[in-house]
Structure 1
Amino acid sequence: MSYGASNTGANTGIDPLRASLCAQKTKNNIRGWYFYSFSSEPFAVSAVATYIPLLLEQFARMNGVLVDDHSISCSESHEKCVLGLFDNRVFIDTSSFALYTFSASVLFQTILVITVSGLADIWKSVRFKSKVLIFFGVFGSLSLILISQLNSNQYYSLALLCITANTCYGVVNVVGNSLLPSFVSDLIKYDSSQMNKDVDSLTSIISGCGASIGYSSALFVQVATMWLIKRSKSQDNIQLGAMFVGLWWVAWQTPIFWLLADVETPSLIVEASSDVDDFSQSLFKWEYMRYGWTSIFEAIKHARLLKDVVIFLIGWFIISDSLTTINSTAILFSKTELKMSTLQLIVISILTMVNAIIGAYFIPHFIAQRFNWSAKNTLLYIICWASVIPLYGMLGFFFNSFGLKHQFEMYIMAFWYGISLGGLSAVSRSLFSLIIPKGRESTFFSLFSITDKGSSIVGPVLVGFLTDRTHNIRYSFYLLFFLLVLSLPVLNTLNISRAKVEAQELSRVETDVQILQNSH
């Protein structure tokens, strides 16, 4: 994609030299946004999707006992095992330990995301947002590095560090996503080669490139960690993988500090511009932290004007819950039911990444354009594609020869899941950015994150509950298939044109209210 600045400023009404400088800053901002995806995406794709569930189940198994006889350790057994918690007052399936921990991490993540999103809206400064990205990126990466130093009996510490890392990633993800609409707007405004581009398609293209870059990064990390684990003394040393992801995150987020900058002087919602650079004070001021919650309540209050945003968020809540839970369930199912090794599971993860890259790039760039699919229809078709995965797992109850009965079937499902994961990552983010009010990106992307990540509180808990009762994780495929099918009629009622009008109306109402308040 060209970001040339020739004749820049001709249609913007500003000095050409200044416009050229703004175009260059915009180019750097988009590069910085790609580095945000490049540095942090391996955490979501590699750590959360592979290493953390495996580590949690491994630690639980090494400290667990057999289901039928709690006096026998299951550390060396392939039988069904449970872990005793709180001085053995409660026993849960070793797979459920990973699922419950993930649900708890998403709960804390949701609370922190809402709090920090208000800061991102108060300060329009790109520079400030870059500091938020780096601040939480450092804490998240350090948590992963500390995981690599734990002993196998420290399963409570493992759960706490996993919760911390996932919570930090949630903040990074929301703030990073909130930058996309403003960068696209600046690109069209200042770059002559992009001025005639459609906002919708340009947003989808940049979002797709970012998703592809992130998955490419995760792919490299998976290959590198597979090599490290294979070379280690123990091929089940998954902690090496967690450590490498942490080091990758903290190292590659460094360019963000140098690349992200304000194109023009940012406007502030509050009169606090004098200390906009005082990051440490700004981050922990109560009135600023409270703004995120106030904004969320205001957004919910105005939901009557944003019918289609509500429809999208409900649908996305269901989809995200299903896809996130499919991943963790498949990993745990492969290990506990199909007895696949750590290296085999990493290979499956690599296949998933390769196909996620293909899905994130080719679906919005070629397939959707080739068949003239709208963003909404593209999303619906991808959901139908993804629903095949749990449906195939359900067939295992009725057939002995297929239906995830053999290890090789998981490699086929990796291809199928990767295509759907990459496509949804690119299309959902760009679609949502088109229907939200301008100037409130951080707040509404926090709603997106709540439904995206917050939904994961529900799915893993339900799957964990089913697994605890049946000690057969295959039953979860019924739940996951039902959720994916349920999302289709919900999203089918979405009207993009109406949604844009709703967003403009909300912006007008809030402007009128602000003028009225100032007059008094």
Structure 2
Amino acid sequence: MADEDGGRAPRYDGEDVSPTTDRETRGWYCIGLAAEVFAVCGVGSFAPVALEQLARETGVLRSDGVTPCIAPPTSEVSTRLLRLAIREASDDGGQCMIHPFGRETSTASFAMYTFSIAVLMQALVLISFSPMADYGTYRKRLLLAFAFTGSAASTAFIFVWPGIYLLGSVFVIIAVVCLGSSFVLLNSYLPLLAANHPSVSNDAQARSTSPRIDEFGRAVIVNTTSPALKLSTEISSKGVGLGYAAAVSVQILCILLLVSLKKANFTSESTPLRFVLLLVGLCWAGLTLPGALWLRNRPGPSLRISTPWKTRLPLAFQYIAFAWSSVWKTVKTAAKLRQTWVFLIAWFLLSDAIATVSGTAILFARTELHMSTIAIALLSITVTLSGIAGAFLWPHISRRFKLQTHSTIIACMIMLEIVPFYGMIGFLPFVKAWGVGGLQQAWEIYPLGFVFGFVMGRLSSYCRAFYGEIIPPGIEAAFYALYAITDKGSSAVGPAIVGAIVDRIGTIRPAFIFLAVLIALPIPLVYIVDVKKGHTDAVALSKLLGYKGGQPIAMEDYDVAGDDGLEAREGLLSARQEDA
């Protein structure tokens, strides 16, 4: 039913059904590419290097616990000591160590531990605050708050010096949490932009909406009607493309800045890195500003709680209780579907492997191959560009060899094994004698970076599409929320284990064995998943739970206030959707 202005009728009190304008869409793009800049240039390139360098400049060699890893610039023997540290870096006694909170930790594992904590905190925050992306008037305010807080944490790196390197770790944790939260809130806007766009049929929009996943694997709710689905996919695809383009452009600016600062001969190598993170943070904030001006608030429905004791809780705790309750209900439902939980375990392992390979490679390049910051930035660009190539070529490869989705996923995982296996051949005596092969030379990491990026170009999308075939119809968004939580939660495990390996053995190379095993573990799990049986079981369970005919599952404790019983929820933890 349309309103008097020609738009669709509000589905709940206070819903903003103003037509989506090109200006608002541009605002959505701006905030998205701003976050993507930090994801690629900050998290993916310079932040881990900056953390390791700050720690190194205050660390000592493990061999004697006294000799600085980096000699003071005024010392006459600084060059000799630096060469000694580099030469002994592969030996257990020559590892660079720090002592945060009294615990002996290598500088490489310090960065790994930081990102492990950051990802774990991100998962907890995402679960707890996600209903605020669905309900009330907090959507835009939270989006901007996370974006500007994250950018401030990145720019604040300029004030971190080696003596307070732990503060840099805190800033990274804050920025990573804000980054993930920004993406979730941004994605919650996507179905609203599509639903209110003038090109979408008002009549079709009013009759049929349900949660879906776009081709880039982002959990959103879009219309089952063709115009809205097409528009949502188009907006998402364009946003991803613009994000990659912005990230590569800023990465090039960072390289130019590093080259310029290198001529200034700073006494500390971490200083140029801090200026780069300042630039990245300013880009994040600057590109967010247009979105702050152009994006509408688009409030969600009010959250109404039917359980009396919960209504006495402060509002923030009501949202948190709702969030964790929704996740628990979904977990109990998923436990009834064998094919689904087997794949979730596989995704847990695979997601952890992907995150750990990426972080380990950067720190290996820095500490074992002694690559410059500029060289690492070029490696990041290589991965990004090969990812774009993979996104376009994998569908053609799948069609050419007639690969089913699960076969393509397995092929990607086997191809990903090239990275750790190539690093492992460096253990072979005859390869080590050559002085090349097994990641003994810096240039060898670039082909591996291309392989990693090419695989990642479509692997995540294929996994999400495969998962979508084995979840109950009608509660897709809730299951994709569980999928996202599995993704974020698992990524905290691998980096922590790699950090422990480095602390124990004294070098990163043995971590390749762990990575090879971690990548291999989900392969048989994906292979045994029967997608046909999984789909049949999911449909049967959906009907049993009350989704037959599109009717939603009953929620014991919560419902959504709306006009004429109409309910609508968009966001990460959405669990149901009712026809108008």
TM range (shorter): 0.7 to 0.9
**1:270 alignment counterpart:** 304
Distance 1:292 1:95, change over 3 A: same
Q: Which one-letter code corresponds to 1:388 in the other structure?
A: I
Equivalent positions of 1:117-516 (< 5 A) are: 117-123=130-136, 128-180=138-190, 190=201, 197=226, 207-232=236-261, 233=264, 234=266, 237-257=272-292, 260-261=295-296, 266-270=300-304, 285-364=316-395, 366-368=396-398, 373-398=403-428, 399-400=431-432, 401-429=436-464, 443-492=478-527, 493=529, 495=531, 497-498=535-536, 501=539, 504-505=542-543, 506=545, 508=547, 511-514=552-555
| Helix, strand or coil at the partner of 1:270 | strand
What is the rounded CA distance, in whole Å, between the counterparts of 2:558 and 2:422 in structure 1?
Answer: 58
**2:213 alignment counterpart:** none
| Helix, strand or coil at the partner of 1:83 | strand
Q: Normalized against structure 1, the TM-score is what? A: 0.82
C-alpha root-mean-square deviation of aligned residues, in Å?
Answer: 3.8
| 2:119/2:489 contact within 8 Å kept | yes
Q: CA deviation at 1:26?
A: 8.1
| 1:355/1:418 contact within 8 Å kept | yes
Select between 240-249 and 15-24 the one with higher mean Cα deviation.
15-24
Q: Which one-letter code corresponds to 1:241 in the other structure?
A: V
What is the rounded CA distance, in whole Å, between the counterparts of 2:146 and 2:158 in structure 1?
Answer: 19
Distance 1:471 1:458, change over 3 A: same
| Helix, strand or coil at the partner of 2:452 | helix
Per-residue displacement from partner, 1:120-172 (whole Å, max 9, x unpaired)? 2445xxx7433322221111111111112211211111111111111111222
What is the rounded CA distance, in whole Å, between the counterparts of 1:323 and 1:149 in structure 2?
Answer: 32
Q: Which runs of 5+ in 1 are unaligned?
A: 1-11, 273-281
Q: Which one-letter code corresponds to 1:416 in the other structure?
A: V
What percentage of aligned pairs have identical amino acids?
30
What is the rounded CA distance, in whole Å, between the counterparts of 1:199 and 1:498 in structure 2?
Answer: 27
What is the rounded CA distance, in whole Å, between the counterparts of 1:15 and 1:503 in structure 2?
Answer: 41
| 2:19/2:196 contact within 8 Å kept | no
Distance 1:197 1:352, change over 3 A: same
**2:127 alignment counterpart:** 114
Per-residue displacement from partner, 1:230-276 (whole Å, max 9, x unpaired)? 1112475111221122112122223434555588x85445279xxxx
| Helix, strand or coil at the partner of 1:253 | helix
Distance 1:403 1:502, change over 3 A: farther
Distance 1:228 1:428, change over 3 A: farther
Q: Normalized against structure 2, the TM-score is what? A: 0.74
More helix by share: 1
**2:57 alignment counterpart:** 62
Q: CA deviation at 1:222?
A: 0.9
Distance 1:516 1:448, change over 3 A: closer
Q: Does 1:18 align with 2:13?
A: no
Q: Which runs of 5+ in 2 are unaligned?
A: 10-15, 72-81, 205-222, 307-312, 560-564, 566-580
Q: CA deviation at 1:434?
A: 6.7
| 2:7/2:196 contact within 8 Å kept | no
Q: CA deviation at 1:482?
A: 1.3
Q: Which one-letter code corresponds to 1:414 in the other structure?
A: G
What is the rounded CA distance, in whole Å, between the counterparts of 1:517 and 1:356 in structure 2?
Answer: 42
| 1:466/1:475 contact within 8 Å kept | yes
Q: CA deviation at 1:216?
A: 2.0
| 1:338/1:407 contact within 8 Å kept | yes
Distance 1:209 1:424, change over 3 A: farther
| 1:148/1:239 contact within 8 Å kept | yes
What is the rounded CA distance, in whole Å, between the counterparts of 2:458 and 2:167 in structure 1?
Answer: 35
Distance 1:438 1:253, change over 3 A: farther
Select between 235-244 and 343-352 the one with higher mean Cα deviation.
235-244
The count of aligned residue pairs is 492
Higher Rg: 2
Distance 1:433 1:238, change over 3 A: farther
What is the rounded CA distance, in whole Å, between the counterparts of 1:46 and 1:464 in structure 2?
Answer: 22
Distance 1:185 1:417, change over 3 A: farther
Distance 1:131 1:420, change over 3 A: farther
What is the rounded CA distance, in whole Å, between the counterparts of 2:285 and 2:471 in structure 1?
Answer: 31
| 2:153/2:175 contact within 8 Å kept | yes
What is the rounded CA distance, in whole Å, between the counterparts of 1:69 and 1:27 in structure 2?
Answer: 63
Q: CA deviation at 1:375?
A: 4.5
| 1:43/1:249 contact within 8 Å kept | yes
Distance 1:354 1:517, change over 3 A: closer
